[in-house]
Amino acid sequence: MSLDDSRRENRTLRFYVTAPRACAYLEDRSAVSVVADPEAQLSQSIYDQLARYGFRRSGSDLYIPDCPDCSSCIPVRIAVQDFTPTRSQARVWKRNQDLDFRILPAEYRQEHFELYSRYLASRHADGGMCDPDPDEYMRFVTADWASTRFLELSLEGRPIALAVTDYLDDGLSAVYTCFDPDLDKRSLGTAAVLYQVDVARRLGLSWHYLGFWVPGCRKMEYKNRFQPLQAYRKGHWSFLETSD
């Protein structure tokens, strides 16, 4: 598809605002998102462009938070070519060098689904994603128009972490990561991000899109530890300071 074709697609793409719902990150707040028309013929080129405006993918939906009274969800991306791990991150990487790292097609594997299910039961037992079935799982992690890979970390042949990763024209995008909840000492979430950064760097890409950094949300605090980090605010990307 040519650039002109892609621009014509984006001119005709409609966006919708969702109804308010409970915020997944901050207590006692409601959340609203802007979603690309789910009935539209989306494509990888549209995804490439919307990612630059902070949009994320969940299943076949492309969305960005647009809450009337809150702007805490901030899209962030790592500048992978300039990334330097902290001492803590370097220790995590070294600690996990006994693992096998593989890039796999985005296809159903029973062992991945079981890992995903165990992770949800441990970390999100009270959420709407608990007790998934295989079809729901694949609808959540894939889209037929997205270039997706499963980055697998395994120990002695057993998958212990899975990073669902989209390939964009300027970087990688972390869609969802799950890991064995019994192996907390390995810091597998951090190891998965470091693996994604390493893959992006070797591919000569510029960015690793991490999703939303939410100041004040404990489970999102880790994202600001990957430097240099850019945030999309007020219509443009700019670098965050470590203490931001």
Backbone angles phi, psi at 125, to 5 degrees: -65, -25
Q: Going from the first residue of the chain to its last (244 residues), give the mean pLDDT of each consecutive group of 10, the final group possibly shorter.
A: 44 91 91 95 97 97 95 97 97 98 98 97 67 93 98 98 98 98 96 98 98 91 94 95 54
Give every CB contact of residue 187 below 8 A, 6+ residues apart in sequence.
Answer: 92, 95
Tell me, yes or no, if the pTM score tops 0.85: yes
DSSP string, 89-114: HHHHHHHTTTSEEEEEES---HHHHH
Domain ranges of the chain: 3-70, 76-240
CATH of domain 76-240: 3.40.630.30
Convert the pLDDT of each residue in 133-167 to its tens digit: 999 999 999 999 999 999 999 999 999 999 999 99
Between CA 1 and CA 41 the distance in angstroms is: 13
